Amino acid sequence: MKKYICEPCGYEYDPAIGDPDGGIAPGTAFEDIPDDWVCPVCGLGKDVFVPAED
């Protein structure tokens, strides 16, 4: 599964880790995260995330 980066703050969402504090279980693909989820660092929405370069 692909990692995604929050462009404004640089937070990397890693599907292998998820976002346990945000209620996202490890193994959850970015596409499967609810639309109302926000970056745990800066609080912006999924729309500011871009796919990480491999």
pLDDT digits (tens, 9 = 90+) for 6-47: 999 999 999 999 999 999 999 999 999 999 999 999 999 999
Residue 27 CA, distance from chain mean position? 12
What is the count of structural domains for the chain? 1
Measured CA to CA, the distance from residue 47 to residue 6 in angstroms comes to 9
Is residue 15 within 8 A of residue 1, CB to CB? The reply is yes
CATH number of the domain enclosing 3: 2.20.28.10
Q: What is the pLDDT of residue 6?
A: 98
Q: What is the pLDDT of residue 41?
A: 98
Q: What is the pLDDT of residue 44?
A: 98
pLDDT surpassing 80 at residue 49: yes
Residue 38 CA, distance from chain mean position? 8
Q: Which residue segment(s) compose the domain that 37 sits in? A: 1-53
pTM value? Answer: 0.93
Q: What is the pLDDT of residue 45?
A: 98
